[in-house]
């Protein structure tokens, strides 16, 4: 954090329709992970700024909720058009700020715009029902918005999450205070400008700041009845504790994953290995809660598969994330990079066999920045930390299995339950395994892809609630029952 007055690029937060600095005058510097150069600053917002944003959202709420759903939907569609119109600027800033490859970030902008349009189309589905409780009277329910919604989004897909995660609460008639991650906040600042141009003052507020200050103030604010968070399990658990200290809140959490991909011996091995590489999301250095970071290979194909997998991952091109030819860029931050390197050493010390990556790529280009070659460890066993713990980095663990009951037990033997992938050509095996695996989002003969309208969410410590479908829209409403005594 800095209070220096001179800087190359300053961005503002959006509160009550105005682009403003923080109340303290302090700033957070954002660093390009490819070369460790400071590329911009955002305000270090705190409790006072959150209070102002919540007040602005509360003031804007009655008029926004009173709009016809079709009118609210029109605002969402207008924002989608605005984002596509600023795609080049958003992508350039996002790539520099996150280290994610440019071809992926272009998809992110489109995905965010598409989510806005999807929930615009669902706006009139926030509806109640009639109940034949008696024949003499009329009994029915309505769905009403909560009021002010707090949304806290992570660093790995900043603009996509900023856009897609305000769509459902706005469509349902709520106003929003959005808190982006302090690790890659610059594109969220551009997003704030777009929201200023589209929405009435106070409907969308974007407050940048640290989790321990701005995030904590948003979680604890008594006038925020509905909260949603995407991030790590420890932070999600801390939010659960803090949220209930000031008021009763509705809370949804999309947390971490240590997601299994189970390859049966009858599967198309080449396609399965291609999906394993794709499912690890190496294009953004494995920094995804849905990454299939535990690959379970049947013993009959294990040795051949590990050799092929190591060759495929080693062939990925690590380079400038602005280059369309790069398959992977740098890790997002120094803290995450050091964490990843720590897990590499832990895995070695616990007996895992390194078959690809494990350190900086060769070459002068990679001497500065947070670079780590996509990494594969074979012969991983359930007692190892890289089997049990989410790394949130480019580390893929490969596990040998022989018995179906054994592999399902191993797949479920972690605290997480977000995604899973099952590879087999036997329909009975596919469906029985899908039922037995403790994950909320399962691919059969696929990996990584999300499909609009299907609910995404986890089991166990991977979270509560679902997103990306109709259930998400309804989760931003409260039910009211009315009895008409005729």
**Nearest partner of 186 among 96, 84, 61, judged by Cα:** 96
Containing 474, the helix (H) or strand (E) segment is helix 470-475
Q: For residue 383, how many other CB atoms are within 10 A of its CB?
A: 9
Rounded Cα gap, residues 119 and 125, in angstroms: 10
Give the pair of three-digit tokens for residue 49. 């700024």
Rounded Cα gap, residues 280 and 265, in angstroms: 21
Containing 87, the helix (H) or strand (E) segment is helix 87-98
Q: How far apart are the first and last CA of the chain?
A: 64
Task: Give the residue numbers annotated as catalytic, written as ranges.
Answer: 254, 289
Rounded Cα gap, residues 357 and 344, in angstroms: 10
* Cα dihedral 41→155→213→13 (10° resolution): 50
State residue 235 phi and psi, 5-degree precision.
-65, -40
State residue 369 phi and psi, 5-degree precision.
105, 175
- What is 92-155 written as a DSSP string? HHHHHHH---HHHHHHHHHHHHHHHHHHHHHGGG----B--S-SSSEEEEEEEE-SEEEEE--S
Rounded Cα gap, residues 419 and 129, in angstroms: 33
Which residue(s) pair with 398 in the sheet? 295
Long-range CB contact pairs, 314-319, < 8 A, 24+: 314/356, 314/357, 314/373, 316/277, 316/282, 316/374, 318/361, 318/366, 318/371, 318/373, 318/374, 319/365
User: Reduced to 3 states, what is the DSSP secondary structure of residue 209?
Assistant: coil
Give the pair of three-digit tokens for residue 102. 């440019």
The runs of H, that is alpha helices, within 251-372 are 269-279, 302-314, 334-349
């Amino acid at each position: 954090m800095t209070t220096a007055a001179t800087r190359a690029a300053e961005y503002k937060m959006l509160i009550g329709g105005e682009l403003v600095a923080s109340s303290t005058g302090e700033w957070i510097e954002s660093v390009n992970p490819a070369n460790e150069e400071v590329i911009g600053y955002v305000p270090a917002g705190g409790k006072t700024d959150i209070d102002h944003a919540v007040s602005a959202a509360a003031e804007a709420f009655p008029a926004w909720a009173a709009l016809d759903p079709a009118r609210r939907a029109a605002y969402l569609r207008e924002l989608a058009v605005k984002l596509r119109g600023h795609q080049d600027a958003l992508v350039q800033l996002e790539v520099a700020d996150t280290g994610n490859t440019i071809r992926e970030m272009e998809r992110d902008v489109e995905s965010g715009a598409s989510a806005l349009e999807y929930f615009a189309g669902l706006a009139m589905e926030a509806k109640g029902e009639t109940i034949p409780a008696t024949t003499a009277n009329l009994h029915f329910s309505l769905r009403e918005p909560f009021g002010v919604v707090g949304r806290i989004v992570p660093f790995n897909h900043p603009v996509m999450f900023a856009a897609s995660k305000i769509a459902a609460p706005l469509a349902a008639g709520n106003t929003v205070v959005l808190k982006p991650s302090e690790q890659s906040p610059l594109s969220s600042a551009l997003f704030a400008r777009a929201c200023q141009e589209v929405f009435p003052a106070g409907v969308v507020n974007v407050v940048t700041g640290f989790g321990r200050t701005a995030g904590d103030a948003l979680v604890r604010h008594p006038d925020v009845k509905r909260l949603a968070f995407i991030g790590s399990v420890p932070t999600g658990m801390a939010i659960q504790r803090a949220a209930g200290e000031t008021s009763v809140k509705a809370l949804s959490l999309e947390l971490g994953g240590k997601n299994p991909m189970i390859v049966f011996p009858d599967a198309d091995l080449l396609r399965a290995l291609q999906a394993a590489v794709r499912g690890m999301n190496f294009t953004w250095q494995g920094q995804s809660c849905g990454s299939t970071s535990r690959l379970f290979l049947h013993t009959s194909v294990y040795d051949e598969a590990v050799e092929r997998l190591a060759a495929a991952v080693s062939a990925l091109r690590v380079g400038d994330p602005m280059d369309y030819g790069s398959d992977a860029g740098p890790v997002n931050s120094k803290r995450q990079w050091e964490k990843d390197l720590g897990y590499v050493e832990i895995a070695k010390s616990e007996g895992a066999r390194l078959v690809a990556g494990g350190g900086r790529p060769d070459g002068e280009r990679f001497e500065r920045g947070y670079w780590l070659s996509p990494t594969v460890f074979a012969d991983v066993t359930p007692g190892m930390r890289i089997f049990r713990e989410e790394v949130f980095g480019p580390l893929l663990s490969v596990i040998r299995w022989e018995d179906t009951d054994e592999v399902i037990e191993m797949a479920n033997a972690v605290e997480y339950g977000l995604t899973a992938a099952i590879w087999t050509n036997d329909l009975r095996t596919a469906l029985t395994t899908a039922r037995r695996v403790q994950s909320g989002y399962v691919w059969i003969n696929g990996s990584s892809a999300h499909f609009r309208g299907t609910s995404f969410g986890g089991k166990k410590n991977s979270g509560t609630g679902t997103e990306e479908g109709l259930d998400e829209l309804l989760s931003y409403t409260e039910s009211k029952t009315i009895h008409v005594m005729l």
